[in-house]
Structure 1
Amino acid sequence: MARLSRSLFLAGLLLGGAGAQESITTSAQETPLPPVQAAPAAAPGVPVRAQVAQGTLVGREQGGVRVFQGVPYAAPPVGELRWRAPQPVSAWRGERDAARPGVACVQTRPRQIGGGLRGAEDCLYLNVTAPALALRAPVMVWIHGGSFENGAGSDYDARVLAREQGVVVVTVNYRLGPFGFLAAPALLEGRTLGNYGLLDQQAALRWVRANAAAFGGDPANVTVFGESAGGMSVCAQLASPGAAGLFDKAILQSGPCTPEINMVPVTQALNTGREYARALGCPEGDAACLRAVPAEKLLRTPVPGRRAPGSVDLPPVYGDGTVPRAPADVFADGEVNRVPVLIGSNLDEGTLFVAPLGARGDIPLWQYWALVGVLEGWNAPRVLAQYAARDYPTVGLAAAALVTDGLFACPVNDIAHDLARVTPVYAYEFRDRTAPIAFRPTAGVPSYGAYHAAELISVFGTPLTGLADPAKFTPVQADLARLMRTYWANFARSGNPNSPAQPGLPAWRPLDPAQNNLLTFAPGRVAESTAFRQEHRCDLWSR
């Protein structure tokens, strides 16, 4: 099936009806994930110091964990540095307080958590959480999700992961929305265009290489990991020549960068950027005009152009110097940054996106048929035969299954297959269909199941405000969460989630594309499966 059809189906779902529009808008910044977690005023504990290249940091130690927050890794991208590659951060005199998070990158809050603006352009900060007695510990660098339009590194509390697993965790801010991903003709600089957020991530990884030892981390053992847009970022970095040598392992959670709604060709991005500049009142080629536009106006001005409602207005770009080729082609050719990869998705990714459409009743069957007919054309009968509404408790769950398979499960599995030809790959699926969630069920989605982002509170072991809280775990779910953290940390240590020192750990074999073996995570049952592609109908969706 054409990848365009696959990408557009979510568009059709998010069009919804009049009732659905009251629950969810067509702007990607209004999608329900990830929630914004309120940052603490200051980290508790006693002062501790770390000497990095730029000067002395004063963080806090409590409960066997040291936390350094609001650490600048690049110069503020303001004024003439707006829409330029990140520049080195200046040294400071004396001691710099690192007890509070740095400001989030400027963004529009999702309406579901209050709306309004958040953050500032001076936002290139990271946070380091390390065991108090760390010595050459593996380093895990977290790239947050949020549709490339919202979120912050400080939304994620890494204290449990660091203390329990003996790893140094770094959470990173990067430029978002138009500040991170606008590609306009006036902004061409060398071969760099539009991927400022991806370049920020690379700058943060360079900073980690240079300074990890100051926190007890091993600068020669860095794992980058992320979920949703963060996973897509990691995916893009695997295809970016500029990221070569910046990390030693990669973890992608529900983050395929190959569908068209997640990355676009530079020609398309330039057309959008040209129209957006015009909407902002700036002549084509006038970079000074664009850099003078107030941040609030940039966020309030709709991005022109026809695209899938619900997709990212300004996604990352391929065809520039940062990501020269389409990632799908890079993966198919094996020309990737060859590091061990842990990659997977969740069993019910689509429920979170479809649920708002069923808030006042199930999705009408005629609407489901019409959308598939419009978007799939001659192939609609084949699609409808595979996702017949009569085979599901609700029409909404049929639509959710289609979104799961077409936009997440099968693209992720395709990437895993390509990578496994050139580097070790460990594949998984998260299958806890009773995972805690703060959202209420709807008529169309009476149960969220193993929804998009459901695994995050297991990986971190801490709450995500507005999404879920591990305090709601059953004992069996808590055991599963600890097991997942152990696998993730083992992989960060050695590139292999298994460990001879943990004989009770279920064996996790590297992916063999011929068998498509992956490890499935469900409460009380961690087991290998080879039926993934059949269960998700990947013959229908794969390229």
Structure 2
Amino acid sequence: MRPRARPALTSLLSLLALGSVAGAQLVPGPPVAPIPVDATPPPSGLVRLQTPAGALVGRSDGQVSFWQGVPYAQPPTGDARWKAPRPALPWKGDRSALTAGPPCPQKGAGSFGLVGSEDCLSLNVAAPSAALGAGAAALPVMVWIHGGAFTSGSGSQYDPRLLAREQNVVVVTLNYRLGALGFLATDGLAGESRALNYGLQDQQEALRWVKTNIRAFGGDPGNVTLFGESAGSMSICAHLTSPPAAGLFHKAIMQSGSCAAPGTTIPQADARRTGAAFAQEVGCRGGDPACLRKVPLARLISTPIPGRGELRFLPLTPAHGDVLLPSEPAAAFREGKAPRLPALLGTNRDEGTLFVGPLGDRGGDLPLLTHWALAGVLAGWNAPRVLAAYPTAQGVGVASARLITDAMFACPARTLARQLAAVTPTYMYEFRDPDAPTDLLPTGSAPRYGAFHASELISVFGTPLTYFASPTHFTPAQGALARQMRSYWANFARTGNPNGPGLPTWAPVTPTQDRVLALEPGRVQELGTFAQDHRCDLWP
């Protein structure tokens, strides 16, 4: 029998995304408030755009135009809680799109108990201004799904304008329902609808909006690439096996999140047991949907998910076994049932340092017992061999970080890449910047972060992530690598092949051969030791 996870270990495993780093215990806080965004129009003024849904007024600096807070679905409030998203209603007259919509409800940081609003199903679009002119060729579309452990984050945390301008693509970022509002499952809710996984349903509704409206922004609805990180990447992995998603996107970029990793989806039966326990905690014995819809928002967000004392990689995850996700994605890929959509995926060399950093013992190193428990949880009966392979001579946190990197990120990504390569062109990378910029302070359990989880994001977008990292700290070599990465990503979005003029050659993976491109400042080349570096002989 596998050991129960200790509290520190459970926290470690539930921090599977950037948005969770700033998480805190919920305490009484101010009224709902959106994540602050810059709402100051640029000097060059505004831009009006007619879309099938109605007229939007956004901002333009002459090179890139930007529309924020555009509704893609009606508010999932009141009786619409835990129901499929309904397409946004068209409007008359001009609609302001100068500020981002509120994030979906989530725990706040510091003294703030709750941020967001249930009326949160909106998206943001950045497009090269030249794409809006008459006769302009339709551009590739890149749709970003944010991370945050399925419990936090928002599309507006990411500024897509530089990527759109520099790479001549249309970029969309979106919000989707999180936590219990997005991923609760109960017998009562299942009795109302054959499809649960409301957060994934929201993402698919946003893609339907893109298919209908993106041509007005200069985008090509027949050339849509999904890209995302952590929980966003896991979402994309799920959409690859979701029947309702067929035809809504044409390529996939998955960063640091593979559904071949354990715990990224769970069976419906398990999800409903958790949902029943949660419903009882909020006063709705039996999981009655009518009762759940009357529960105050703050109570839904503040109530812990039952079972977090057990091994739970994420507090709530997508559940397979409904119409949206009929089977476990990992099983579908093992059986060769992946769709023939080009894929680009990868991980960061030091993913685990972000998770062990906050968990040191009173500012010191990670307790040795936590490292042992982590090995037991992830390796089961093979734990003694794993502990021998991850010695703690350089520090317990260092060893635990390596274990997390290999077991939960690197090796599952390698497995998925080989499975996809059997049916479709697949490209794999490892981000290896040993000194990736960060605003995070070193700790006893993470004396250096290296290429930590989410550290590639400021390269992909070329813009800062508040309180986390900023490209203003790039060295010339790091800045050059960031531009190369954006070129690879955009080339892939254009053609399904990341290669292009001036870029080191990136060979596709084969079912039997690792072809991993090492992305390191001043050194972009094929890496021949990925499996050995990450002890993939120990991990599936």
TM-score (structure 1 length as normaliser): 0.91
Q: Deviations over 1:387-437 (max 9, x none)?
A: 1112xx212101100000001111111111111101110100000010001
CA deviation after TM superposition for structure 1 residue 380, in Å = 2.1
The answer to whether the aligner puts 1:512 opposite 2:507 as a matched pair is: no
The answer (yes or no) to whether the contact 2:7–2:309 under 8 Å persists in 1 is no
Which of 16, 20, 23 is the equivalent residue of 1:31?
Answer: 20
Compared CA separation, residues 50 and 481, structure 1 to 2 (3 A): same
The answer (yes or no) to whether the contact 1:142–1:225 under 8 Å persists in 2 is yes
The answer (yes or no) to whether the contact 2:100–2:156 under 8 Å persists in 1 is yes
Which of 128, 132, 140 is the equivalent residue of 1:131?
Answer: 128
Compared CA separation, residues 538 and 25, structure 1 to 2 (3 A): closer
Gap regions ≥5 residues in structure 1 = none
CA deviation after TM superposition for structure 1 residue 286, in Å = 2.1
**Other-structure match for 1:15:** 9
Q: Deviations over 1:97-143 (max 9, x none)?
A: 111111111111245xx542111001100000000002311100000
1:353-364 maps to which residues of 2 (within 5 A)?
A: 353-358=355-360, 360-364=363-367
Give the SS at the match of 1:67: strand
Runs of 4+ in 1 over 6 A off after TM superposition: 24-30, 33-37
The answer (yes or no) to whether the contact 2:35–2:103 under 8 Å persists in 1 is no
**Other-structure match for 2:279:** 277
**Other-structure match for 2:382:** 379
Q: Deviations over 1:31-79 (max 9, x none)?
A: 3169996322344341212222211111111141100111010111111
Q: Distance in 1 between matches of 2:141 and 2:16?
A: 31
Compared CA separation, residues 124 and 37, structure 1 to 2 (3 A): closer
**Other-structure match for 2:490:** 489
Give the SS at the match of 2:344: strand
How many residues align structurally? Answer: 523
CA deviation after TM superposition for structure 1 residue 211, in Å = 0.9
**Other-structure match for 1:321:** 323
CA deviation after TM superposition for structure 1 residue 298, in Å = 0.6
**Other-structure match for 1:70:** 69
> For residue 54 of structure 1, what is the amino acid of its counterpart?
A
CA deviation after TM superposition for structure 1 residue 375, in Å = 6.5
Q: Distance in 2 between matches of 1:235 and 1:14?
A: 28
> For residue 207 of structure 1, what is the amino acid of its counterpart?
W
Q: Distance in 2 between matches of 1:414 and 1:376?
A: 17
The answer (yes or no) to whether the contact 1:261–1:308 under 8 Å persists in 2 is no
The answer (yes or no) to whether the contact 2:23–2:108 under 8 Å persists in 1 is no
Q: Distance in 2 between matches of 1:85 and 1:40?
A: 31
Q: Distance in 2 between matches of 1:13 and 1:136?
A: 51
1:128-207 maps to which residues of 2 (within 5 A)?
A: 128-134=125-131, 135-188=137-190, 192-207=194-209
Compared CA separation, residues 374 and 210, structure 1 to 2 (3 A): closer
- Give the stretch that moved more between structures: 232-241 or 28-37: 28-37
The answer to whether the aligner puts 1:423 opposite 2:424 as a matched pair is: yes
Aligned alpha-carbon RMSD (Å): 2.3
- Give the stretch that moved more between structures: 191-200 or 346-355: 191-200
TM-score (structure 2 length as normaliser): 0.92
Q: Distance in 2 between matches of 1:308 and 1:168?
A: 42
Give the SS at the match of 2:144: strand
CA deviation after TM superposition for structure 1 residue 530, in Å = 2.5
Q: Deviations over 1:335-387 (max 9, x none)?
A: 22321000000000000001112262122435533553576454222111111
Q: Distance in 2 between matches of 1:326 and 1:445?
A: 34
- Give the stretch that moved more between structures: 184-193 or 425-434: 184-193
Q: Deviations over 1:455-487 (max 9, x none)?
A: 000000000001100000000000000000000
Give the SS at the match of 1:533: helix
Compared CA separation, residues 296 and 125, structure 1 to 2 (3 A): same
Which of 327, 333, 336 is the equivalent residue of 2:335?
Answer: 333
The answer (yes or no) to whether the contact 2:308–2:315 under 8 Å persists in 1 is no
- Give the stretch that moved more between structures: 169-178 or 256-265: 256-265
Give the SS at the match of 1:139: strand
Give the SS at the match of 1:354: helix
Q: Distance in 1 between matches of 2:119 and 2:353?
A: 35
1:33-52 maps to which residues of 2 (within 5 A)?
A: 38-44=36-42, 45-52=44-51
> For residue 407 of structure 1, what is the amino acid of its counterpart?
M
The answer (yes or no) to whether the contact 2:47–2:57 under 8 Å persists in 1 is yes
